Amino acid sequence: MANIITRRGFLAGTAGIGAGLSLGVNGALAQAQGPLGVGFIYVGPVGDHGWSFTHDVGRKHLEQTLGAKVKTTFVENVAEGPDAERVIRQLATSGNGLIFTTSFGFMNPTERVARQFPNLKFEHATGYKSAPNLATYNARFYEGRAVIGTIAGHVSKSGIAGYVGSVPIPEVVMGINAFTLAARKVNPNFTTRVVWVNSWYDPGKEADAAKALLDQRADVLSQHTDSPAPLQQAEARGAFGFGQANDMKAFAPKAQLTAIVDDWADYYVSRAQAALDGSWKTHSVWYGMKEGMVKIAPYGPGVTDAARAAAEQVKADIISGKSHPFMGPIKDNKGVERVPAGKTLTDEELNKMDWYVEGVQA
């Protein structure tokens, strides 16, 4: 009996060997000569028209710019957790020399896989764990929030902004605070009302939250969720809003004042080029408007001349380093002074932010 090989068992066995061989060969080839394999994993669908979409725009730009020198692969809709580790490992074993993992929750899986593949290069977006072959990169979205906050302060008649929040992590809290601080420099009585939907991506619930805010006298919306649904509600009600992650003008030609646009393209090109040259080194960068990772989309028709001038001024001052969105004095929403005059919050303090500035109702 022991010598009989069933057809099914045989096929499965050879298929396994075949797959193993081809993977090994591909991996070896990619490192020896051929194009550099660049892998991406996204937390959402590339069609989300938001966060994952912008990373994919960067990936496409990378392919166009470096042409035959790179070969990109992406895996979309990867849940943060055990699945992510499996997908990252699969990318690592299928001939990719450089792997970008583009969501905060991919941090620990990326770190574990990076340890197992010391010859491959990994880059994790928005996290804080690095290694000799694991770099981190993030964008200072809060700089963009300061610009749109300035516009909101000018445009809002009721002095109340609605903010559709996803989940209360420092990244999101930081954005709410930067927005509110900037708006209150224009209108000292400005308040921001936050509604949490506890999801990054649920168009229906985002729209409901937007309606709840608009019904309660907010006339400008900002959002830290990924779909254009809140903006669409603003358009329907004749209110204003801001696009998230990319230009969402198509959904709200009148309502969109501007959008904070994530631009990863240049970063991906420069890092892939560095990997090709052999000059790639690990680092931990946090780029903003100065480096062009955060951009402001063209202004919509609702932006007044005064708002436009003020927004441009804030933008120029942040780029030149003359001002910082979190320059003291700053009070929290319980009236306690958190940042004294003349001081600015450090990056480390920003990344731990768990309090709201004055004027935020959350």
Partner 1 sequence: MNPDVLVAVFLTVITASTPLLLAALGELVTERAGVLNLGVEGMMLMGAVVGFAVTLTTGQWGLGVLAAALAGAGLALVFGVLTLTLVANQVATGLALTIFGIGVSSLIGAGFVGKPLPPLPRLAVPGLSDLPVVGRLLFGQDLLVYLSLVMTGVVAFVLNRTRIGLVLRAVGQSDVSAHAIGYPVIRIRYGAVLFGGVMSGLAGAYLSLAYTPLWVQEMTAGRGWIALAIVVFAAWRPGRALVGAYLFGGITILQLYAQGAGWLPVPSQIFSMLPYLATILVLVIISAGPWRRRLDAPACLGKPFRPAA
Cβ nearer to partner 1, comparing 276 with 362: 362
Cβ nearer to partner 1, comparing 77 with 130: 77
* Site track for partner 1 across 117-156, x = CB under 8 A: ----------------------------------------
CA distance 188 to 359: 9
Q: Report if residue 265 touches partner 1, rule: CB under 8 A.
A: no
Q: Report if residue 220 touches partner 1, rule: CB under 8 A.
A: no
Q: Report if residue 236 touches partner 1, rule: CB under 8 A.
A: yes
CA distance 116 to 20: 18
CA distance 188 to 50: 32
Strand order in the sheet with 294-296: 294-296, 256-262, 240-243, 220-223, 160-165, 191-196, 360-361
Q: Report if residue 262 touches partner 1, rule: CB under 8 A.
A: no
Q: Report if residue 228 touches partner 1, rule: CB under 8 A.
A: yes
CA distances to 102, 135, 142, 348 from 138, rounded to whole Å, are: 10, 10, 11, 13
Q: Report if residue 161 touches partner 1, rule: CB under 8 A.
A: no
**Binders of partner 1 among 30-59, rule CB under 8 A?**
45, 47-49
Q: Report if residue 212 touches partner 1, rule: CB under 8 A.
A: yes
Asked if 56 and 43 count as a contact pair (C-beta separation under 8 A), the reply is: no
- Which residues neighbour 345 within 8 Å (Cβ) at sequence distance 6 or greater? 324, 326, 330, 339, 353
Q: Report if residue 331 touches partner 1, rule: CB under 8 A.
A: no
Q: Report if residue 201 touches partner 1, rule: CB under 8 A.
A: yes
Asked if 154 and 213 count as a contact pair (C-beta separation under 8 A), the reply is: no
Cβ nearer to partner 1, comparing 141 with 251: 251
Where is 242: in which H helix or E strand? Answer: strand 240-243
Q: Report if residue 203 touches partner 1, rule: CB under 8 A.
A: yes
- Torsion, CA 46, CA 284, CA 128, CA 277, rounded to 10: 60
Q: Report if residue 337 touches partner 1, rule: CB under 8 A.
A: no
Cβ nearer to partner 1, comparing 18 with 253: 253
CB atoms within 10 A of CB 306: 12
**Binders of partner 1 among 79-98, rule CB under 8 A?**
none
Q: Report if residue 232 touches partner 1, rule: CB under 8 A.
A: yes
Cβ nearer to partner 1, comparing 143 with 235: 235
Binding site for partner 1 (CB under 8 A): 45, 47-49, 77, 162, 193-199, 201-209, 211-213, 215-216, 218, 227-229, 232, 236, 250-251, 361-362
